[in-house]
Chain A
Amino acid sequence: MSSTTELRRTPLYERHLTAGARVVPFAGWEMPVQYAGVKEEHLAVRTASGVFDVSHMGEIRTSGPQALDFLQRILSNDVAKIAVGGSQYSVLTKEDGGVLDDLFTYRLADDVYLTVTNASNHEKDLAWFRRWAADFEVEVEDAFDEFAMLAVQGPQARQAVTSVLGYELPKPFRTGGAVWRDADLLVAGTGYTGEDGVELLVPPAIAPELWDELLAAGVQPAGLGARDTLRIEACFHLYGNDLSEDRDPIGAGLGWCCKEDTGFVGSEAVAQARAAGPAHADGLRLVPFRFTDKGIPRPGNPVVGGGVVTSGTFAPSLGVGAGLAYVPQASSEPGTPLEIDVRGRVRPAEVATKPLYRRPQG
């Protein structure tokens, strides 16, 4: 984030107000937290379709003959595995293994990649990219202002987007281009809800029109509240809650997207952490959990016997409190009973398997 304290608005700000949004400050932006209600929007995404304005997220374009070598140096995953038109999740780690951000990278052409950053980390990530880019024949561009971003998610999302764009959509985790009303769009089969759907990276000027068309096609506006409950049920991490510079990716359960043999910055620390076992140096590791009785966990609630809740909510698809918590290694097996101190009242819970919510296979 820049040093200004003035809150920024996405190109869809007026649309949010029109749709009845409750707008709150988030990572330096004025963002819609809900419209009809978190629970209703959550269930709309699980059963039909919802559209999220995620234009606050940042983009960095990396291009040039050594784009791959450069990204391989800083991203934790094996970037060589991304084909043109593909995508990949990874983390950015410091030399000591602490997580700077978690990111999605799309390969747009042989030597052009687009990386999506978290709003609160965009400036930090950009500085990190530029610092390491000095050793490579590569261009790193801040592409933030080039894109608005809409995530259309849910079992009926693809149908709705196809009806609006008139294009065959890319398969899950693949990307494709589309031209809509003379504007070039990037369509990616990604999202962060545990549902099928796409993310649309579009020129900011066209975003309001596209929003209108999606709503006209029956897609429900969904806010950051539902985005959070959906990603918790899917056991996806939120930077700043479940991930931070103080923790390595292994204890956060992200060892799967770290390929130390690529020699990324921080790979030695990550390899050491991996060799030491699945927990962090403090003996804690991140697990999903659900309450077995009443109550709702919130971030910051202590786990009795050590540990802390980092993401907690009422999970609308489960009908109980659930979340992600750092717990001692000895208490990390699925089914292990936990006790969580919710503002002075101890609530029973148990370690769950990932994901907390699994969508019906149909």
Chain B
Amino acid sequence: MADASYPEDLKYHPEHDWARIDGDTAVFGITWYAQDALGEVVFFDAPEVGATVTKDESYAEIESVKAVSDVIAPLSGEVLEVNPGLEDSPEAVNEDTYGEGWLVKVRLTDPSELDSLLDRDAYVATLD
């Protein structure tokens, strides 16, 4: 992915994660900034389906050739799905981080947490 982008329709966590909210479920991923800092992603160490994730805590690890990074949960919930495409094509996180490069789908357990997430402009402001 060449240019930085931060879609308007997502919620953001200051640890460089995004959440696409859909009723009581959400899809999580890492932001353009995070994938750029990491470099070419070669491995997503995914949580198990059914695992509990807790807002602000690490739920997985994502690795580039030279570095490993914790992935922080933007919201609490239970893992419903893990992106099956990342097993063979982890580079999707770099190429299409808001689309093919999504990480997990989660059933949210605490809707009140939504208020603490940042909108696009607030998140982008943290990057300077």
Contacts and interface: CB of A to CB of B under 8 A. Distances in A.
B65 A225 contact: yes
B109 interface: no
A229 B65 contact: yes
Interface in A211-237: 225, 228-229
A121 B42 CA distance: 32
B43 A314 contact: yes
Interface in B24-66: 39-40, 42-43, 45, 61, 63-66
Which among A38, A343, A345 has the greatest number of chain B C-beta atoms within 10 A?
A: A38
Contacts of B39: 22, 34, 37-38, 225
B66 A313 contact: yes
A106 to B, nearest CB: 30
A296 B40 contact: no
Contacts of A314: 42-43, 63-65
A39 B61 contact: no
Interface residues of B, number: 11
Interface in A21-37: 22, 33-34, 37
B64 to A, nearest CB: 7
Nearest to B94: A37
B1 interface: no
What is the interface residue range for chain A against chain B?
20 to 34
A46 interface: no
Interface string A32-57: 01100111101000000000000000
A98 interface: no
A280 interface: no
A311 to B, nearest CB: 12
Contacts of B45: 294-295, 345
Nearest to A321: B43
Contacts of A11: none
Contact of A38 (B43, B66, B68): B66
B42 to A, nearest CB: 4
A34 B65 CA distance: 11
A313 B61 CA distance: 15
A298 interface: yes
Nearest to B90: A314
B112 to A, nearest CB: 32
Nearest to A226: B65
A316 interface: yes
Contacts of B66: 33-34, 38, 225, 228-229, 313
Interface of B: 39-40, 42-43, 45, 61, 63-66, 68
Given A296-B43, A314-B42, 11 more contacts: A34-B39, A34-B66, A38-B39, A38-B65, A39-B42, A229-B65, A294-B43, A298-B68, A313-B65, A321-B43, A343-B68
13 contacts: A34-B39, A37-B39, A37-B40, A38-B66, A39-B42, A225-B39, A229-B66, A294-B43, A294-B45, A295-B45, A296-B68, A314-B43, A345-B45
Interface of A: 22, 33-34, 37-40, 42, 225, 228-229, 294-296, 298, 313-314, 316, 321, 343, 345
